Structure 1
Amino acid sequence: MNAFLMCFSAGGCFLLGFLLFFHPLKQNTVANRWLALFVLIMGTAFLGIYFGSNVLSSLEFLLPPCLYLSTLYFVEPLRVFKKKDGLHFVPFLLCLGLQMMWLPENGDLMTASLFEVGNFIFFTRDLLPFQFLVYIILSYRALNLHQKNLKLITAAPKEIDLDWLRYFLLILSVISVFWINDAVFGFSFLLKVMPVIYTSSVFFLAYFSIRQNAVFAFNKTDLKEISDLLEQLLTDERQKTERLNDKEFAVFSEKLNQLMVGDRVFLNNELSLPGLASQLGLSIHDTSYLINRLTGSNFYTFINQSRVEEAKKQLIAGRMENLNMVGIAFASGFNSKTAFNTAFKKYTGCSPTAYVKQQKSN
C-alpha cells in the first residue's frame, strides 16, 4: 500500500510539473518552470522510494535551490540568473561527482556513514532534509519582503501577495518534518502515516499552485522601473536620495493633490503606482519618492487612507440605505469587502458597522 501511494504521488508530481512548465495562462513563466523542475524532481524521489532505488538520489540536492529560485523569480520582476545563483547548485555537483567516483566500488554514496551523535548515525542522505528546511526558511523571508514591497506599488496587494505560495511552503515544511524523522529519528507512528501525508501533500501543492495570478501584470517598461525601485530600496529603504528638487516637488505635489482631491483617482479600484505615475507625468520611482516625501508613507497607505475617508463620508451620509457594505466598499475605491474591512479597521480602529453605530450614538 505504501509503495502504491509513493507511485501515485510520483504520478501526481509529474502531471503537476508538466502543467506548471507549460502553464496555460503563460504567466510567471520563468518562476513556474523552476517550480516545475522542483516538482518533477520530487516525483523522481517518490519513484526512488517505490522502486527501492537510490540511483537518482543525488538529484534531490536540486530540490532546495529550485524551490528558492522559483520563489525569487515570483517576487522579483525581470530577474535574471546571476553567477552567484550557481553557488546553490554546488552541493548537487559535489554529490554527483563523488557519486560517480564512489559508486563502482562502494555502492550508493547516499548510504555512506558520515558521523555518529549518540545513538544516531548520520548518512549522506540525512543532509538533504536539513538543507531543504533551510531553503524553505529563505523562501519565506523572500515572500515577507515581497509583501512589504507590494505596498509601494499597489493599494490592493491581496490579489498578488503570493499567499498561495506561502501555503505551498507551509505544506513543504510539513513534508520536511516527516522527512527528517525518516532520515534521523525514525518514530514509528510518523513513519506509518508518512506515505499518506506525502500523497495528500501533492494534491494540496497542486491546489495552491494553480490558484496563482500574474504577480506583476505591467508592461516591460513599468516592470523595469519597478525592479529598479525595489532594488534601490534594499540599500536605501527610506528613499533618502533626492529625486526631485524643491521646485519640481512643489509642482508635482500640487498636481498630485489635484488628481486626488479634484479628479478623485483613488476611486479607481485598479489604480496602481505605475498608473498614478503615468497621470502625473513622472517615473514610477519619482512618484514613489514624491508620495514618501509628501506624506511619509507608501502608496498603499496613501491611497487607502483616502478611500477610508471617502467611505466614512458615505457611511455618515446614510448611503447604507441605497448601498450595502459591499457597495460602499466599491464606491470608495476598494475592490473587495475584505480589503475594505481590513483598511477601515486599520485606519479608524473599528469596523465599518461599529463606526456607523458610533456616529448614530453621537
Structure 2
Amino acid sequence: MNGFLMCFSAGGCFLLGFLLLFHPLGQNLTANRWLAVFVSIMGTAFLGIYFKNTAFSSLQFMLPPCIYLSTIYFVQPIRVFKNKDGLHFLPFLICVLLQLIWKVKGMDFMIVPLFAIGNFIFFIRDLLPLQFLAYIIVSYRALTVHRRNLKQITAAVKEIGLDWLGYFLLILSVISLFWLNDALFGVLFLLKVMPVIYTGSIFFLAYFSIRQDAVFAFNKTELKEIAVLLDQTLPDTPPKVPRLNDQEFAVSLAKLSQLMEEDQIFLNNDLSLADLADRLALSIHDTSYLINTHTKGNFYNFINQLRVEQAKNMLLDGRMEELSMIGIAFGSGFNSKTAFNTAFKKYTGYSPTAYMKAHKKN
C-alpha cells in the first residue's frame, strides 16, 4: 500500500511539474518554472523511497533553493537571476561531488555519519529536512514582506497577496515535520501515516498552485517603477529625499483632493497606485511620496479610509433599504465583502451591521 502511494505521489508531482512548466495561462512564468523543478524533484524523491534507491538523493538538496527562488520570483516578477543566487545550490554541488567520490569507493555518501549521541547517529541525509524547513521559513518571510509592501501600491491586498502560496508553504512545512520525524525521531504512528500525508499533501499542493493569478497586472515600465518603490520600503533602505518641491507638492495635492472629493475615483474597485499616478500625471514613485507625506500612511490606508467613509454614509442614509451589504461594499469601492468587512472593522472598530445599529439608536 505504501509503495502504491509513493508511486502515486511521484506521478502527481511529475504531472503538476509539467503543468507548471508549461503554464496554460502564461502567468508568473519564471516563478512557475522554478516551482516545476521543485515538484519534479519531489517526484524523484518519492520514487527513491519506493525503489529504496539513493541514486537521486543528492537532488533533494535542490529542493530548498528551488522553492525559495520560486517565492522570490512570485513577489519580484521582473527580478533577474544573480550570481549570488547560485550560492544556494552550493550544498547540492558539493553533495554531488562527494557522492561521486564515495561511489568510487563503493560507499553511499548520504549515509556517512556526522556524529553520534548514544545510540542515535546523525547522517548526512539528516541535514536535508533541516535545510528544507529553514528555507521554507525564509520563503514565508519573503512572502510576508511582499504582503506588507503591497499596501504601497494597491487598496486590495488580498487579491494579489499570494494567499495560495502561503498555504503551499504551510503544507510543505507539514511535509518537512514528517520528514524530520522520519530522519531523527522515528515516532512510529507518524511513520505509519506518513505515506498518506505525503499523498494528500500533493493533492493540496496541486490545488493551491493552479489557483494562482497574475501577481502584478502592470506593464513592464510600471513594474520597474513599482520594483524600485518596493525596494525603498525595506527596513535597511536610507531615508527618502523629497521627490517634489513645495510648489509641485501643493499643485499635486490639489489635484489629488479634486480626484478624491469631486471625482471620487476611490469608488473604482480596481484602482491602483499606477492608475492614480496616471491621473495625476506623476510617476508612480512621486505619487507614493505625495500620499505618504500628506497622510503619514500608505496607498492602502488612504484609499480604504475614503471607502469606509463612503460606506458609513451609505449605511446611515437608508441605502440599506435598496442595497444588500454586498451592494454597500461594491458601491463604496471594495471588490469583495471580506475586504469591506475587514477594512470597516479596522477603521471604525465596528462591523458594518453593528455600526449601523449603534448609530440608529443614537
| TM exceeding 0.5 | yes
1:259-338 equivalences in 2 (<5 Å):
259-338=259-338
The reply on whether 1:248 has 2:224 as its aligned counterpart is no
**What amino acid is the match of 1:62?**
M
Aligned with 1:115: secondary structure?
Answer: strand
Alpha-carbon RMSD across the aligned residues, in angstroms, is: 1.0
What do residues 162-203 of structure 1 show as CA deviations (whole Å, max 9, x unaligned)? 111111111111111110111111111111111011000000
Alpha-carbon offset, residue 233 of structure 1 = 2.0
CA distance in 1, matches of 2:41, 2:149: 31
Alpha-carbon offset, residue 240 of structure 1 = 3.0
Aligned with 1:116: secondary structure?
Answer: strand
- Structure 2, unaligned runs of 5 or more: none
**What amino acid is the match of 2:118?**
G
Contact 1:233 1:239 (8 Å CA) reproduced: no
The reply on whether 1:84 has 2:90 as its aligned counterpart is no
**What residue is the counterpart of 2:353 in the other structure?**
353
**What residue is the counterpart of 1:103 in the other structure?**
103
Alpha-carbon offset, residue 117 of structure 1 = 2.3
Alpha-carbon offset, residue 234 of structure 1 = 1.8
Contact 2:23 2:32 (8 Å CA) reproduced: yes
**What residue is the counterpart of 1:73 in the other structure?**
73
**What residue is the counterpart of 2:196 in the other structure?**
196
**What residue is the counterpart of 1:206 in the other structure?**
206
The reply on whether 1:172 has 2:172 as its aligned counterpart is yes
Contact 1:77 1:226 (8 Å CA) reproduced: no
CA distance in 1, matches of 2:205, 2:300: 30
Alpha-carbon offset, residue 236 of structure 1 = 6.2
Distance 1:157 1:239, change over 3 A: farther
The reply on whether 1:37 has 2:37 as its aligned counterpart is yes
Alpha-carbon offset, residue 311 of structure 1 = 0.5
Distance 1:339 1:237, change over 3 A: farther
Alpha-carbon offset, residue 106 of structure 1 = 3.3
CA distance in 1, matches of 2:141, 2:45: 26
Contact 1:120 1:185 (8 Å CA) reproduced: no
CA distance in 1, matches of 2:36, 2:319: 49
**What residue is the counterpart of 2:122 in the other structure?**
122
**What amino acid is the match of 1:94?**
I
**What amino acid is the match of 2:353?**
T
Alpha-carbon offset, residue 259 of structure 1 = 0.5
**What amino acid is the match of 2:148?**
K
CA distance in 2, matches of 1:341, 1:119: 56
The reply on whether 1:54 has 2:87 as its aligned counterpart is no
Contact 1:103 1:109 (8 Å CA) reproduced: yes
Alpha-carbon offset, residue 113 of structure 1 = 1.1
What do residues 229-276 of structure 1 show as CA deviations (whole Å, max 9, x unaligned)? 111222566953211111111010001001001110000000000000
Alpha-carbon offset, residue 291 of structure 1 = 0.2
What do residues 81-105 of structure 1 show as CA deviations (whole Å, max 9, x unaligned)? 0111011000000000111111121
CA distance in 2, matches of 1:34, 1:184: 29
Aligned with 2:256: secondary structure?
Answer: helix
Contact 2:28 2:77 (8 Å CA) reproduced: no
CA distance in 2, matches of 1:109, 1:312: 67
CA distance in 2, matches of 1:135, 1:111: 23
**What amino acid is the match of 2:25?**
L
Alpha-carbon offset, residue 107 of structure 1 = 2.1
- Structure 1, unaligned runs of 5 or more: none
Greater alpha carbon shift after TM alignment, 80-89 vs 236-245: 236-245
Greater alpha carbon shift after TM alignment, 165-174 vs 112-121: 112-121
Contact 1:28 1:215 (8 Å CA) reproduced: yes
**What residue is the counterpart of 1:186 in the other structure?**
186
